[in-house]
Each structure stands twice: as structure tokens, then as C-alpha cells.
Amino acid sequence: MTGVADYPAFLDALKARVRSARLTAAVAVNQELIQLYWSIGRDIVDRQRREGWGAKVIDRLAADLRAAFPEMAGFSARNLRYMRDFGAAYPDQEFVQQAAAKLPWGHHIVLLGARGENERRFYVRAAVEQGWSRNVLVHQIESDLYRRQSQALTNFEATLPAPQSALAAQLVKDTYAFDFLGLAPDVSERDLERGLIEQVRALIMELGKGFAFVGSQYPLEVGGQDYRLDLLFYHLRLRCYVVIELKVEAFKPEFAGKMNFYLSAVDDQLRHPDDQPSIGIILCKARNRVIVEYALRDSLKPLGVASYTLSASLPAQLESALPTARDLAILERASRRGRFKDQPV
């Protein structure tokens, strides 16, 4: 009887092992396929350079390969041209083996439209690290994440120890794209905040990997008075709270003073002894670089200032990424129970 009682657990363990093996096999097959496509593409590029092959040769090659391997669907003339462009885009085989081969072929077709080798490599690494779907990758390219990343004005280098300062700088962008909100450019701060909360999943995708949502209008009591933080997150990699304040106007020096106040309160009331210093991000409609630099120069708290863009229309590729009412309810309940540190995003 004991053996029968143990059977369900035994079966569950076996099923988990089978699923793991299938996933490992699928990943291995994808890596082999991408490296095959790259090698074919490199060979075509080399032949075109050395022997002057024209476009018609690719059509002939496609027909011959389809005849030799009728069970394989990847040898159309169009796909061979993608392979050629793929091989030309990544002359470094080591990079393909270590990074590019970890992405599906559909991702690489999208990446061929990126501008320049450095930009493509940035998106490859980011997509691998953060597990982007193809639709998310398209959005990040269209919103020009490569040029927005790590360009915000911050004082992290002066207020945080290494390597914390470098990691913090990577999470703040110069300009955040809030196109997924579908709001008009003259939106109020409250509507902007409400829109962000209603689209928490898309917001976290724009913020980047590692953000766990704690709450909106998060209450703090200081000196017998009540204050509320626009948005409060916990960053799983940095191990610190991140306070985000939203402004529908250009940056003003007093915004930095208010954020300093909030960060002191968060560090005193919420920060665990093992946590790193809390970080503040001020999102403004616009900001003057000189004014921001003056405002942050002598601040002892880690602050970043960035701008945001709005669009009145919702990109179609983001519709599937938006949260449901159930998702938001789960986030809210988790934040109330204090379990947000365990919620990866």
C-alpha cells in the first residue's frame, strides 16, 4: 500500500523530468538550426564576394535544397536570403554560438532590420537575458530602446558603491515610451498614473527586467503627516526599493528635494538591513540637462531623472502583453501581504 500511495508523487516527478528533457532538446535543436542557418549564410556571402554569385543562384540553390530535403520548410529562396543577411550581420561565429543561437529564427529576421552591428548585438543580448517574445522585441526596436538605455541623468556614481552604481545606471533610460497607454500628450498626472497601473504588465516590460510592483499611491506617515508615493517597486537584482514620481511638466529643482525626502522615509520605514539604498526616478515631460545636473550635484540620495513619450494609439503588438483585471488583483494582494520580493517579473 505504501508503494501505491507514493505513486502520484513518483508520476509527477517523472512528468517534470520529461518536460525538462523536452525543453532541453528543443533548445538544443534551435541552437543547431540557428548555427546551420548562419553557416549557410556565411557560405553564400563568401561565394558572392569571391565568385560574383547573383540573386538567381539563390533561387536555384533553394530549389535544389528543397528537392534534397523535402521535409524541411526552411529552404525557400526568401529564407535563404535571410540566411545570407544573417551571416553578413554576424561575422563573429563565437557570438553566434554563445548568444545569437539562443534566440528563435523569427527573432533574427526581426533583428535584421536593426541599425548597425552594435545595435543588433545589444538587442540579441537583451532578448536572451530578459526572455523577450518576438512581439516584445519588435516593440523595443520600434521604441528605440538601444538609444534610450542608460542615457538618463543620474547621480548614481557619486551616491552608490560599485558595482551597485553601474547596475542602477542600466535600469534608468533617457526616455520612457508609454505609448501603450493610449493617452493624449496633455494627460494629467493622475490619469498618467492610473493608466500605468491599469497596464502594469506593459509598464514593467518598459521599465525592464527585475522590477516587482509594490503599489501605487503608497502611503507613508512622517511627523504625523500622510504622504503618498506615485509608484513603488522593489528591484530583485539590485535588492532595493525604487520610488517613481510622475510629473506632467518639465523638471524643476524642487522635484529632487521632494524625492530626497521620500527616499529618506522609505529607507527608514521600509528598507530591510540587507537591502541596498533606495533609488528614486523622476519621470518628467521634459528636462533641461543643466538644471538637472545642478539639482543632483550635492544630493546624497541616488536619483535619476528621465523623460517620457506618449502616444494616443496603442501598438498592436502590445495588446497581448496587457494585464487582465485578475493580474492586477493578484499584484495588489501580493503587495499587501508583503510578498512582492518573491514575485519575479
The model's pLDDT over 166-220, given as tens digits with 9 standing for 90+, comes to: 556 555 555 555 544 444 445 555 665 565 555 545 555 556 667 788 888 899 9
* Distance in angstroms (rounded) separating the CA atoms of residues 300 and 156: 10
Mean predicted confidence (pLDDT) in 50-70: 83
Q: Are 243 and 229 in contact (CB under 8 A)?
A: yes
**CATH of 150-342 among 3.40.720.10, 2.60.120.10, 3.40.1350.10, 1.10.40.30:** 3.40.1350.10
> Which pLDDT does position 262 carry in this prediction?
93
Q: Are 266 and 243 in contact (CB under 8 A)?
A: yes
Q: What are phi and psi of 291, to 5 degrees?
A: -60, -40
Q: Look at the pTM and tell me if it is higher than 0.95.
A: no
> Which pLDDT does position 31 carry in this prediction?
86
> Which pLDDT does position 87 carry in this prediction?
92
- Nearest partner of 47 among 58, 38, 37, judged by Cα: 58
> Which pLDDT does position 84 carry in this prediction?
92
Model confidence band, residue 127 (pLDDT cutoffs 50, 70, 90) = confident
> Which pLDDT does position 330 carry in this prediction?
53
Amino acid at 53: W
pLDDT averaged over every residue in the chain: 75
CA atoms within 13 A on the CB side of 223: 5
Q: Where are the chain's structural domains?
A: 2-131, 150-342
Tell me the three cell numbers of residue 142: 520600434
The model's pLDDT over 9-45, given as tens digits with 9 standing for 90+, comes to: 878 888 888 888 887 787 788 888 889 999 999 999 9
